[in-house]
Structure 1
Amino acid sequence: MAKVEIYTTMLCGYCYRAKKLLEERGAAFTEIDVMTDGKLRDEMRRRAGGRTSVPQIFIDGEHVGGCDDLYALDQAGKLKPLLQASH
């Protein structure tokens, strides 16, 4: 299974939707809450090419984007193969 990391904040509807989709696809993930930690938020921004919104999602270290991007990958049939890849 791929390593999935998701940067989130509490009370974020998009974060909830992204985590729900990952759970529905059977993906285990590491959630990184950036709400009160500026260093983690800076790390997220650096890894996500300057993007500051949450969630920001990484699969096997590759940035796949936010919630809408994750759903677009799923709709295109590309999410499941990414999640099943082992690197």
Structure 2
Amino acid sequence: MTAKIEIYTWSNCPFCIRAKQLLRKKKVKFTEYGIDGDEMVRAIMAERANGRRSVPQIFINDVHIGGCDDIHNLEDQGQLDKLLFAHSGV
């Protein structure tokens, strides 16, 4: 079982696309919230992300991990799999 992964995105955002590509490469399911023009959803995202309004904003098991650079930094440091697969014993 993988972690609960949520990502807030904007449809044409290159950083959002790049973050989702990494998650797909990891073969994990994630819930995507498209915020295109939806200020209510963007406000919810910002509240969860400690005021950050840029996209993407990524949460793993309800913990805010940040945006595209943050998830790729976790991957580069060998920490992302530990977060994604913590419940499966990997």
TM superposition score category, shorter chain reference? over 0.9
The residue number in structure 2 matching 1:19 is 20
| Aligned-pair CA distance for 1:15 | 0.2
| Aligned-pair CA distance for 1:53 | 0.4
- Could you report, residue by residue, the CA deviation over 1:9-66 in whole angstroms, capped at 9, with x for unpaired residues? 1110000000000010111100001112111000000000000100000000000000
| Aligned-pair CA distance for 1:78 | 0.4
SS at match of 2:6: strand
The residue number in structure 2 matching 1:41 is 42
User: How many residue pairs end up in the alignment?
Assistant: 86
The residue number in structure 2 matching 1:75 is 76
Q: Distance in 2 between matches of 1:82 and 1:26?
A: 14
| Aligned-pair CA distance for 1:85 | 1.9
The residue number in structure 2 matching 1:65 is 66
SS at match of 1:7: strand
Q: Distance in 1 between matches of 2:27 and 2:70?
A: 18
SS at match of 2:84: helix
Q: Distance in 2 between matches of 1:55 and 1:33?
A: 10
Q: Distance in 2 between matches of 1:32 and 1:19?
A: 12
Kindly report the root-mean-square deviation, in angstroms, between the aligned alpha carbons of the 2 structures: 0.6
Q: Percent identity?
A: 49
Structure 2: give runs of 5+ residues left out of the alignment.
Answer: none
